[in-house]
Amino acid sequence: MSVLEKISSPKDIQNLTLVELQALAGEVRNLIIDAVKTNGGHLSSNLGSVELTIALYHVFDFSSDKLLFDVGHQSYTHKILSGRKDAFNTLRQKDGISGFCNPDESPYDAFVSGHAGNAVAGGLGYCYARNLLKEDYFVVSVVGDASLSNGLSLEALNASPDKPNKFVLILNDNGMSISKNDNGFYKGIINSTTKKPYLAIKSGAKKMFGKNFIGKILRKIKGFFKRVFDPNVYIDDIGFKYIGTIDGHNLKEMIKVFKRVKEHGFPAFVHLRTLKGKGYKEAELYADVYHGIGKDFKPTVNSFSVALGDAMSSLCASNDKVVAVTASMKEGVGLNAFASKYPDKFFDVGINEEYAVTLSAGMAKAGLRPFVCIYSTFLQRSYDQILHDVCLQNLPVVFCIDRAGVVGSDGATHQGVFDLSYLRHIPNLKILCPKDVNELEPALNYALSLNCPVAVRYPNGVGEIFATKKDFDGSWELIKDGQDVTIFAVGGRMLSLASKLSSYGIDAKIYSARSVKPLDFNVLEEEKSSHIITLEDNVLSGGFGSAVAEYYSKKSYPVKVSIFGLDDKFIKHASVESQLSDYGLNIDDIVKIIKNK
Amino acid sequence: MSVLEKISSPKDIQNLTLVELQALAGEVRNLIIDAVKTNGGHLSSNLGSVELTIALYHVFDFSSDKLLFDVGHQSYTHKILSGRKDAFNTLRQKDGISGFCNPDESPYDAFVSGHAGNAVAGGLGYCYARNLLKEDYFVVSVVGDASLSNGLSLEALNASPDKPNKFVLILNDNGMSISKNDNGFYKGIINSTTKKPYLAIKSGAKKMFGKNFIGKILRKIKGFFKRVFDPNVYIDDIGFKYIGTIDGHNLKEMIKVFKRVKEHGFPAFVHLRTLKGKGYKEAELYADVYHGIGKDFKPTVNSFSVALGDAMSSLCASNDKVVAVTASMKEGVGLNAFASKYPDKFFDVGINEEYAVTLSAGMAKAGLRPFVCIYSTFLQRSYDQILHDVCLQNLPVVFCIDRAGVVGSDGATHQGVFDLSYLRHIPNLKILCPKDVNELEPALNYALSLNCPVAVRYPNGVGEIFATKKDFDGSWELIKDGQDVTIFAVGGRMLSLASKLSSYGIDAKIYSARSVKPLDFNVLEEEKSSHIITLEDNVLSGGFGSAVAEYYSKKSYPVKVSIFGLDDKFIKHASVESQLSDYGLNIDDIVKIIKNK
């Protein structure tokens, strides 16, 4: 009987012996490797957090204590230990286990995870509420070193010099952001603590010196030496007891520390060193390749990201003011080769999307032409910076928005389905949507020529390639003439959807709406007497179709516009196709509206 | 002849004697006091930054060097010194001098200021661009202590352990956020440096110990002592030379330091201590009252903020789970009395809007009922946290959005005209718009009863009071019956606008659209055969009218909807009335559309 089979409730983990816990780590690791091999997923960071999660479950009781994971790339072990081991082979599949923490999935998922930086703030919220409501439990926030330097984390860490008791911050430090960690906070403060655990000095002090007057003076002297020998005066200053560094794969050592933290109840900052990919050789060696990986451990191909990398290299070769900025997504947005070729033109600022955008505003004001390459979902963090720092100053920053639209198996926290709505109403900003990879470089060239803020939006995966005009000027392209209805479609996915209409006996006139802002007013005027259908891989509210409706609402003639976009719901993990079809872009519904016209 | 009269170009300030500079400070201070007395504005922080700005202009040449102000509450002296002294009496008036930095107003305004935290990131952008473009100038970012602990600032400060040369960060430390500064970063790191200027030790070291091997060892020993005696190891670790603290009203001392910084060119963090309100007794004593003040130094009255404070006290008295959270806006949002009455239910987290929202999400998840009270414009910072941490988890957080709509003289950086558009498309969120102060408490009670995320939106100033039903359930209220046209108006300002139609001979049926999300579908169905006009004090794109158009677009019957909202432009400072009338909500335009129907 395996150890996993013995666990019928998370509480059972508290009673396992060290030998059993070690065996459990091996079993969990195999389960993770199998599930990711079958379904794709996040491998490296999940392999790195197996032991730390087991140690936490051994010491704490998460039926009452709260466990928050920052990002959730580290939460697979937690999912397996909290009642989801049998369903774990459905990872990231429709109706299966989500790849991130989700309170709707299990009461053990104490807080949503997906976007970096929310576990310290969310954990503090739990603590303050617990204290006000006079409840009693521990709150444990597990944060990766890359997330810790995010603005939201830093705000929470610094928010008050007094931290609540029974709050445990676990720093899961694998020395990597998604790529290598090169952050000031990290290098300056965290990286320098490679000495023996500080816990011994600290906890010993009170016992040794007592609580009387002399004890106080001696503790002051100890404080003096602490400043000399322990650079983590900073962590102490923001209200935590610093404990570190601990080997994050040594169950025995971690359990000892966690028990001590539980016994004392002080606000603790436990610094664990872990190895990304631990236990799977290839993942240890190529942690960033195995960070997020496809089925059968084949890299997922995103053809737009590949095209972005090529296009950026061309742009940079022909214009010496072009630079690329990303937020810990060098690999994901396709800038690996660019970064090697143009190291001084490449800025990876870590998971700091706000900084990425305002930095680019400063660069643009000073004469450069920055291209900010960030996923649609993460760019949400920069909404205010886009509006206030870039667009209010009408600066020529180009936003290359990858993973726009539904994203498939990453699910609700990672959907890129809001960007048209959160960008369209910002003055001075233009929004372009190339229909395929061949149109990306022309779109970026056009964006560069506009000399104002421009967003260029494209999806993940391998998109259809269309026969295409070579020029790109933001006018809408007539893809197919037709008699029954006029379709304005945003991007290749929607063009593919529109092309299905012919098999339903509908002869549609189809336009590629390559510019969502401004709209192509010539086409709008030409087509005003048709029944118009708008299609977009974005929420219906406030998106492209809504812009078309706004335009016609100001005219004296009546126009029939039927808007199709995604429902006003958070969209769960599933395939891209079923997400589109289940959440508002079902071809049958579109046909119905056209035939009833 | 006054010293001010002698200055025909900013360069002239470089040649003034110390005595003249001191006289200049007095003259500038009087000019600021006069202008604020006449027009209202930000007094306290501007009086605190007179000398530091004069000292900067004496040492640097801002026709080539770049000067960035964080927030811009400190920029009046800068405006006066950079060619705008004669126009300064038009401060905050239509077509006059803006209250914040604005590159469109002067090339000396190197970067926009308004929302806190952008001056470090923007300054670094300038530096990296300067280096790449092989240009040569200094970049000086002046940051208040409250802004420094904002997430965007912290991201920028920590982003790289190496900071560029010729980058000078001036910390204008008056020990106050808008209210008192109670931040961990501030208290732990900054506040502890009250010892003699560190510059002497630091710059002396290299000279003293030389560059050879022995020198290196001696410098290491010096580093050892630095850790003991200087807590600002943190500032050093993030790549700056720390210089402080300096008296920010002592021109002689500051000039000496700035000259040294200019001579050496290292990345410098200059810590100035200033007094908010300096030189005007009442402002020194009551710095927060005089932070932002009205004409004739009378406090500006915002009746909704007053009502919010009262309502929060009632809610808290009747429901022990209610807490209030704000981001350095206790006074502004009207929570002064609440904070005194319920200190343990009141959380002012500083200028950390992201943290405020995710903290509230954690509190709500743990059983509390947080009300997050933030201005519309500043809540833009929390867009992602509202979406990802609150709404994705469908948590019962209520957002009390003050200063929604156009804000008058604060101008472009502070307009609350985007909230309906950036919130409406977020799933699970409901949006309520009480028409007057009497409806605010019922709206908040209704929001509390909904047990999901709710935004409640209201403007600044003293709004009209309407005869009102007492209940508030989100249904739209029929304010006036009529035959010619149907008006859906959001909030009291728009109802006042609609009521003017009768004087144009138009008998309008007028609804108060108290809920923007969801819409009142019963009313929409009832009125579908009318000509419908929507009115909102929000940008037209993606706002309320757009939601009405989306609704009807899915129906088989045609409906004539004319959407009125604010233009797709950034709205400059002027009176509320002229902003509405100049940017899309002109009564004559509305009449024209109605009469041409």
Q: Could you report the per-residue pLDDT of A557-567, keeping only the tens digit for each?
A: 889 999 999 99
Using a CB-CB cut-off of 8 Å, the residues of chain B touching A128 are: 347, 359, 362-363, 368
Which DSSP letter does residue B84 get? Answer: I
CA-CA-CA-CA torsion for B549, B551, B552, B556, nearest 10 degrees?
150
| Residues of B with active-site annotation | 276, 353, 381
Tell me whether residues B365 and A103 touch, CB distance under 8 A.
yes
**Least confident residue range of A217-221, B135-139, B521-525, B575-579:** A217-221
B552 to chain A, closest Cα gap in Å = 9
pLDDT band at A185 (very low <50, low <70, confident <90, very high): low
Stretch A215-235: mean pLDDT, rounded? 51
Residue of B66, B154, B391 lying closest to A154 (CB–CB):
B154
Closest CA to B530 of B551, B509, B507, B500: B509
Fold classified for B3-195+230-294: Rossmann fold (3.40.50)
Residue A150: closest CA among chain B residues belongs to which residue?
B155
CB contact burial B220-257 (16+ within 10 A = b; e otherwise): eebeeebbeebbbbbbbbbbbbbbbbbebbbbebbbbb
And the tokens for A463? Answer: 């998109």
- Inter-CA distances, B537 with B335, B512, B567, Å: 25, 13, 10
CB contact burial B9-27 (16+ within 10 A = b; e otherwise): ebeebeebeeeebeebbeb
DSSP B441-493: HHHHHHHHHH-S-EEEE--SS-PPP----S---SPPEEEE--SSEEEEE-HHH
3-state secondary structure of A283: helix
- Using N-to-C axis directions, what is the helix angle for A199-209 and A213-229, rounded to 10°? 160
**How far apart (Å, rounded) are the C-alpha atoms in residues B183 and B186?**
5
**How far apart (Å, rounded) are the C-alpha atoms in residues A217 and A349?**
44
And the tokens for B263? Answer: 């001579």
A128 to chain B, closest Cα gap in Å = 7
Tell me whether residues B392 and A380 touch, CB distance under 8 A.
no
CB of A3 within 8 A of CB of A15?
A: no
CB of B340 within 8 A of CB of A149?
A: no
pLDDT of residue A244: 82
Residue B317, burial from CB neighbour count under 10 angstroms (0-12, 13-18, 19+): exposed
Residue of A227, A362, A412 lying closest to B392 (CB–CB):
A412
* Beta strand extents in B44-186 (DSSP E only): 66-69, 139-144, 167-173
Residue B252 has pLDDT above 80, yes or no: yes
CB contact burial A85-97 (16+ within 10 A = b; e otherwise): beebebbbbeebb
Interface test with A, best of B352, B359, B561, B592 (most A CBs within 10 A): B359
A44 to chain B, closest Cα gap in Å = 24
pLDDT of residue A597: 52
DSSP A508-567: EEEEE--EEES--HHHHHHTTTSEEEEEEEEESTTSHHHHHHHHHHTSSS--EEEEEEE-
CA–chain centroid gap for A49, Å, is 18
Residue B177 has pLDDT above 60, yes or no: no
Pick the CATH number of A303-457 from 3.40.50.300, 3.40.50.720, 3.40.50.880, 3.40.50.970: 3.40.50.970
Cβ contacts of B8 within 8 Å, gap of 6 or more: none
Residue B206 has pLDDT above 70, yes or no: no
pLDDT band at A186 (very low <50, low <70, confident <90, very high): low
Tell me whether residues A383 and B385 touch, CB distance under 8 A.
no
Cβ contacts of A518 within 8 Å, gap of 6 or more: A430, A474
Stretch B286-290: mean pLDDT, rounded? 82
pTM, entire model: 0.93
**How far apart (Å, rounded) are the C-alpha atoms in residues A95 and A88?**
12
* Beta strand extents in B540-589 (DSSP E only): 560-566
- A193 upstream amide cis, omega within 30 of 0: no
What amino acid occupies position A358? T
Residue of B185, B561, B568 lying closest to A158 (CB–CB):
B185
pLDDT band at B212 (very low <50, low <70, confident <90, very high): very low
CA–chain centroid gap for B139, Å, is 23
Residue B235 has pLDDT above 60, yes or no: yes
**How far apart (Å, rounded) are the C-alpha atoms in residues A396 and A374?**
17
Q: Which of A29, A130, A345, A381 is catalytic?
A: A381
Stretch B114-132: mean pLDDT, rounded? 97
- Counting one residue from chain A and one from chain B, the pairs whose CB atoms sit within 8 A come to 386
Cβ contacts of B128 within 8 Å, gap of 6 or more: A347, A359, A362, A363, A368, B164
Residue B234 has pLDDT above 90, yes or no: no
Identify the H or E element spanning A399.
strand A398-402
Bridge partners, B355 (sequence order): none
Residue A353 annotated to the active site: yes
3-state secondary structure of A241: strand
Query: Do the domains A477-595 and A303-457 match in fold?
Result: yes
Closest CA to B351 of B379, B320, B313, B383: B379
What amino acid occupies position A480? K
Vertex B310 angle, CA B372 and B37, to 5°: 85
CATH class of A3-195+230-293: alpha beta
**How far apart (Å, rounded) are the C-alpha atoms in residues A28 and A112?**
22
Residue B369 has pLDDT above 60, yes or no: yes
Using a CB-CB cut-off of 8 Å, the residues of chain B touching A550 are: 540-541, 545-546, 549, 563
- Inter-CA distances, A539 with A420, B35, B425, B554, Å: 8, 47, 7, 15
Stretch A344-356: mean pLDDT, rounded? 97
- Using N-to-C axis directions, what is the helix angle for A118-132 and B353-365, rounded to 10°? 50
B454-457 and B508-512 beta bridge pairing: unpaired
- Using N-to-C axis directions, what is the helix angle for A18-39 and A251-264, rounded to 10°? 110
Tell me whether residues A151 and B149 touch, CB distance under 8 A.
no
Tell me whether residues A129 and B361 touch, CB distance under 8 A.
no
And the tokens for B180? Answer: 């008192």
Using a CB-CB cut-off of 8 Å, the residues of chain A touching B324 are: none
**How far apart (Å, rounded) are the C-alpha atoms in residues B382 and B389?**
10
**How far apart (Å, rounded) are the C-alpha atoms in residues B361 and A118?**
10
Identify the residue with better confidence: A286 or A205: A286
Residue A18 has pLDDT above 80, yes or no: yes
CB of A521 within 8 A of CB of A463?
A: no
Using a CB-CB cut-off of 8 Å, the residues of chain B touching A362 are: 111, 121-126, 128-129
Tell me whether residues B132 and A569 touch, CB distance under 8 A.
no
Q: Could you read off the pLDDT of A280-321 as tens digits, one per residue?
A: 988 898 887 888 888 888 888 899 999 999 999 999 999 999
What amino acid occupies position B141? S
Does the domain made of A477-595 have the CATH classification 3.40.50.920?
yes
**How far apart (Å, rounded) are the C-alpha atoms in residues A541 and A544?**
9
**How far apart (Å, rounded) are the C-alpha atoms in residues B574 and A4?**
68
Query: What whole-number percentage of chain A has pLDDT above 70?
Result: 90
pLDDT band at A161 (very low <50, low <70, confident <90, very high): confident
What amino acid occupies position B572? K
Identify the residue with better confidence: A202 or B583: B583
Vertex A546 angle, CA A544 and A550, to 5°: 120
Tell me whether residues B364 and A428 touch, CB distance under 8 A.
no
pLDDT of residue B294: 87
Closest CA to B143 of B166, B165, B129, B122: B122
Domain ranges of chain B: 3-195+230-294, 303-457, 477-595
Stretch A392-410: mean pLDDT, rounded? 97
The residue written with tokens 């065996």 in the block is A23
pLDDT of residue A554: 84
